[in-house]
Each structure stands twice: as C-alpha cells, then as structure tokens.
Structure 1
C-alpha cells in the first residue's frame, strides 16, 4: 500500500519531513533524472524505510532512528553527556587520549603504534598495530612498555584491552597481561579475548 501526496518541494532535497495524521515521517526521495520538473509527487511506501535512517519507534513525538553512519553530532552529544555525568558522579575529570607511535626517521611518517586513553585510574589500550616488516624485532615490546609506563605516570593502577584470538593474546600474556573473559565470535573457533594488567 502507498500514500501519494502532492507538495511543493525542492527537487534536490534528499530527505523531506511530512506531518501526516499527527505522525512525523522521514521520506527518502529517489531521483531518476527523468522526472517532470513540474511534477512534485512523492510516493510514500510502508513499511519500507531508507537504509541509512530507519525509524524503529515513535512515541510522544520522539524518534528512534537506526543508522549505519555515526554523525559527528551524535558522537559529540553522547560523549559530552556521558562525560558530564561521570564528572558529576566522581568529581574527577582526568580523561586523556594516549598515542605511542613509531615513525620513519626521515619522513616522520607513522608506521605503527598504540592508541587508547586513560580515565579514572585505568589505562585503555584500544588499537595496536605494527606492519609485518617491523614485527619480531622487539619493537612491539618497546612500544607496549612505553605505553604502560605513560599510564603509570598518569596515575593508572590497571590496564585493560580486548583482542582477537588470532591476533596477539600470547604476546600480551608474555608481558604480564591476564585473560579475564572470552566471547565467541565469527568465524567459528574465533573469540574476543578480554585482558587486564596491574600496573
């Protein structure tokens, strides 16, 4: 079933909001390049929704929208709101980003390294990558030691990370990290490995 409405719109607008029967709908306009410029008809199909902005619920004129794109505004609102709540509850605002990188000595191009953050006495290791040509030389251990040392300098007492079972859990265990959880994932036989270390 579809509802056909005639409205005056700009042809290049991608999303048009229409108030129909007291419900706010988000409608995606498809352009074929063959439409009559004087014909501004839109066909609204139910229940199909655009992939990028799919409405899953409508209550009290609040929309719940599922998207495969995280907009900067979304990131800012969630991060700022949660940070403010944490600051209010703890009275502490010590969150800092942390990066330890290895670079080409001539060009200063980043070749690999570790990124993460520190917050509330915890050192978070989010990403750790070295190209294959730099592995096995002890460089990874030096990077990890430098990362942990900076965490200690910032007052962190523990460190946490998660890795995949086919990545490097044994490497971390060699440096004193311990597994505290494991969650199976794809492909079969693979798992997410959660690890921690007292600093």
Structure 2
C-alpha cells in the first residue's frame, strides 16, 4: 500500500473512507444517527441571534455548536439552549449531553449548569485549553 497526502480528495475517496469507518463502527457499536438538529433564536425582525446544533449518537447528545450574539448574552438564552439539548436527549432516550469548549469561551457557564470536565487538551490554541464536558441525565 502506498500512502499519499491529499489536501482535496475527490468525493469518492472521502466516501470510501467514511463508509469504511461507518461499517466498522456499525458492527461493533450498532447504528448511530449523526443527522444534525438545530435550535435557533431569532429577534423580532427574524434575524438569527442565537443557535445550537446537536447530533444524537450512541445514546448521547453532542452539542456541536452553541452561540448567542453579544446583545443577547446574560439573559438566559444560553441556558435555554442547553435545556433544549437536554430535552432532545431525554426525548431520544439518551444517557446525557456532552460538548467541548475552550478556556476563552464558557467553561464556567457549563459547569454552573451541572456539566463536568472529562478531558482537556492544553495549548490548543497556544496559551489556552480545549475542554470536554458532559452531563448525565
């Protein structure tokens, strides 16, 4: 086998790798629905001011993105988004919710809502850390 670095592989190459990993995982862990679900916050004019994307897989909800525009912060919007993620988890029969954040983002926000750190990568980016947190329901 020859290994080649490719910065822009064609769709067929990406699909072959993805399908191979999916087949391996399916045999060992069962099916997983990685389709995204969104919760969106709009202002009175309909402009997006907050939002969250989650995926449900292997009896856990993963919060891929959670964002609140500056003028709407500290008004409970982030908490309501997290409550939505937890509601999706309960409705889907999941064990809990997990996510990642950076030390320059909002780790204390998540910890105050019952999320506990289970992993950390220091100096990512330099001088900061990436943190993984979870909350069992």
Residue in structure 2 matched with residue 158 of structure 1 by the alignment: 96
Residue in structure 1 matched with residue 5 of structure 2 by the alignment: 65
- In the alignment, the residues of structure 2 paired with residue 167 and residue 83 of structure 1 have an alpha-carbon distance, to the nearest angstrom, of 32
- In the alignment, the residues of structure 2 paired with residue 180 and residue 91 of structure 1 have an alpha-carbon distance, to the nearest angstrom, of 24
The structural deviation recorded for 1:63 is 4.3
Query: Per the alignment, do residues 172 and 84 of structure 1 end up closer, same or farther by CA in structure 2, a change over 3 Å counting?
Result: same
Within the candidate set 102, 108, 133, 2:41 is matched to 102
TM-score, normalisation: structure 1:
0.60
Give the structure with the higher percent strand.
1
- In the alignment, the residues of structure 1 paired with residue 18 and residue 54 of structure 2 have an alpha-carbon distance, to the nearest angstrom, of 15
Query: Relative contact order (alpha carbons < 8 A, sep ≥ 6): 1 or 2 greater?
Result: 2
Is there any run of 5+ residues in structure 2 with no aligned partner, and where?
none
The structural deviation recorded for 1:65 is 1.8
Residue in structure 2 matched with residue 81 of structure 1 by the alignment: 20
Corresponding residue pairs, total? 136
Pick the structure with greater CA Rg. 1
Give the structure with the higher percent helix.
2
The CA RMSD measured in Å over matched residues stands at: 2.1
